Structure 1
Amino acid sequence: MTAILRAAVLLSVIVAAGYFYYIGDGRVSRTTDFRLPIREMRALTAQDGDQLPTTVAVEVVGRDHIPLGLAIAGKGLGHFSMARTAFLVSGPSGRILVDTGMPEDLAAKKQPGTSPVYDAPAQNRVARMMDEADIIVLTHEHWDHMGGLAHSDRLSSLIRKSVLSPSQIAALPALAGKPGPFWNGSSPKALDNSAPTKIAPGVVVMAAPGHTPGSQIIYVRLADGEEVLFIGDITFSIDGIRDVRHRPRLMQNVIMEPPEDRSAVAAQLRSLNTLYLAEPRLRIIPSHDSEHLNRLIRDGFLVDGF
């Protein structure tokens, strides 16, 4: 073998290994230390009866596209439609806003991918609901989930009804671009979510750090017996749970700021897959999966718009 051929083979091996490590490897361990305590969540809401929520609505405040292979490792260059969302859980006991979207100026700086679309009227409806909702809760502390709250000129009043984890509270000043704390004496409620914690009839939150330090899963039991898990960005696509596959390291370690905890997210994916197989009627909702959200709207489960 000539020196040139040996060098070419070596280069090919290095490129292939790099591609697999950073782009193609979506493997998740078959064992996990993370357990999603669905029984405990159900027990906390079992006596809520006629106070249970009745509807779940979604607002899509923006869309953009990324390569499918950045949403799920090894899936190639097809398009994945990223919905930027907020959800509203409503019932006799009040309204709970799950995530707060993103203001237009922040979206213009941050929205990645190709063909980004921003829906200002939809974000206006989310902003109105920040005022009208009884509780504001976040899946995690990223710009497209917390941005509407962090950039609101009414933050000092909204913070009083925002139920946030310590990590989410710590992230507010940087996202708002202000030194913190800056909420004029209106302290947010620091939620200890280390164990399943009920924040309203039918609504339970539990810490799930990994994608971000303040990531959490939000469980909702509805009056008609349906159940929902809002999982934020543990995976962008429901297929990440069905197929038990990670985002690629290129997304996790290079594009995301700060990098996410790959092993923690892997454990959550494995646990969610186990639950998905055992509980086919449980509605698991990743925040960004446009196709999955559209399917839930067509099925009549999600209400399209606030």
Structure 2
Amino acid sequence: MSSLPAPTPWNQPLPEAHPPAGMALYHLPTGTYETRAALAVRGGSFRDKRRFAASVVLIQHPDGDLLIDAGFGDDVADHIAMLPRMVRAPYRQGRTVGEQLDAVGYDRERLQGVLLTHSHWDHASGLDGLRGTPILLNADERDYAAADPDGKVFRSVSQGHEVREYGFDNRPYLGFTSSYDVYGDGSVVVALAGGHTTGSVIIFVTVPSGRRYAFIGDLTWQIDGIRRRVERPWLLSTLADSNRNQLREALLRVIALDGLMQIVPAHDLGSYDGIPLLTHEAATGYAS
């Protein structure tokens, strides 16, 4: 196994953030699918089975709530059937994000949109149960989703949704050259990473306690990629990534941040530890 060279740890002040009182994060797991560690990271074992998370994160914010990704949807079996046979995997479906929001009495009128880390099926499937909720995409990812074969599920589930396109400022953020401050208060900042898909992003979140998170999508599938500084296996990267060099640069930037924030690869279930599940009290008390 060949590790990437260790980047210089981030030693500059962290960007200013002013998250409002009451802002909070919640983890909404929608299911898992199974793969071998050997197919997830270089040096992984075929004996090591990994449960890949299909999870959603709810950001509660006074200016409107956001979902990060959409997880598995009502028709996940049909969505998986749309994939090439070689990439289908055994899966376990939980409650969809829509079902979980409704079960705790969440008012969907508070949802400003679904902010996708990227448009692949296992991040977009749950859009089928979020009718009327806008989708937030940047121009590069919108183009990718419209044309790439891996955007087939997205093109199906996004029908009937308003797609709101956001742009990036030429403002560096934690080593990334361009960023988008969603609320204008530094609490949720989107950085263009690319590499996995052409418009894939990292979503940096700071909550009122000062704790910081980096939701890195599929920059790496498992936290091993950060902690052991390893990339995807060559064949899997060739199949899954749009630009391996760009992906490696972004991965090294995030590795340099390890220890300064909680890094959450979308499919690493353990990386969500500490982010609470959404309860009735949290869903309804926030609005009051």
Question: Per the shorter chain, which TM-score range?
Answer: 0.7 to 0.9
User: Secondary structure of the equivalent of 2:51?
Assistant: strand
Choose which of 235, 244, 258 in structure 2 pairs with 1:276. 258
- Find the counterpart in structure 1 of residue 264 from structure 2: 285
Match of 1:66 in 2: 35
- On the 8 A contact 1:26/1:247 being kept in 2, the answer is no
Q: 1:109 to 1:130 in 2, by over 3 A?
A: farther
Root-mean-square deviation over aligned CA pairs: 3.3
1:54–1:224: 8 Å Cα contact kept in structure 2?
A: no
For 1:289 and 1:145, the matched residues in 2 are separated by: 13
Cα separation, 2, equivalents of 1:102 and 1:167: 24
The question of 1:167 aligning with 2:140 is answered: yes
SS at match of 2:214: strand
Choose the corresponding residue for 2:121, options 138, 143, 157: 143
Q: Are the counterparts in 2 of residues 232 and 287 from structure 1 also a CA contact under 8 Å? A: yes
Alignment of 1:188-207 (within 5 A): 188-192=164-168, 195-200=178-183, 201=185, 202-207=187-192
Match of 1:14 in 2: none
CA contact (8 A) 1:61 1:123 kept: no
Given the superposition, is the C-alpha separation of residues 302 and 168 from structure 1 closer, same or farther in structure 2, using an over 3 Å criterion? same
Higher percent of residues as helix: 1
Q: Which has the larger radius of gyration?
A: 1
Q: Secondary structure at the match of 1:167?
A: helix
CA distance in 2, matches of 1:65, 1:289: 11
**Deviation readout 1:263-303 (Å, 9 max, x if unpaired):** 222222222222115x2xx111111112333xx1xxxx311
Name the structure 1 match of 2:65: 95
Aligned residues between the structures:
256
SS in 2 for 1:75: coil
CA contact (8 A) 1:168 1:214 kept: yes
SS of corresponding position for 2:252: helix
Shift of 1:71: 1.3
SS where residue 256 of structure 2 aligns? Answer: helix
Judged with a 3 Å threshold, the aligned counterparts in structure 2 of structure 1 residues 83 and 37 are, in CA distance, closer, same or farther, namely farther
**For residues 1-306 of structure 1, what are the structure 2 equivalents within 5 Å?**
26-30=2-6, 39=13, 42-43=15-16, 45=17, 48=18, 51=20, 54-77=23-46, 78-103=48-73, 104=76, 105-107=78-80, 109-110=82-83, 115-122=90-97, 124-125=99-100, 132-149=110-127, 151=128, 154=131, 157-159=132-134, 162-173=135-146, 174-175=151-152, 186=162, 188-192=164-168, 195-200=178-183, 201=185, 202-254=187-239, 256=240, 259-277=241-259, 279=260, 282-293=261-272, 296=273, 301-305=274-278
Question: Deviation digits for residues 150-189 of structure 1, max 9, x if unmatched?
Answer: x4683xx433xx331012322455535769x9659x5523
Distance 1:145 1:90, change over 3 A: same
Measured in 2, the distance between the counterparts of 1:135 and 1:164 equals 10
% identity of equivalent residues: 23
**Which AA in structure 2 matches 1:233?**
D
SS in 1 for 2:133: helix
CA spacing shift, 1:267–1:121, aligned 2, 3 Å: closer
Q: Cα 1:115–1:189, aligned 2, differ >3 Å: closer, same or farther?
A: closer
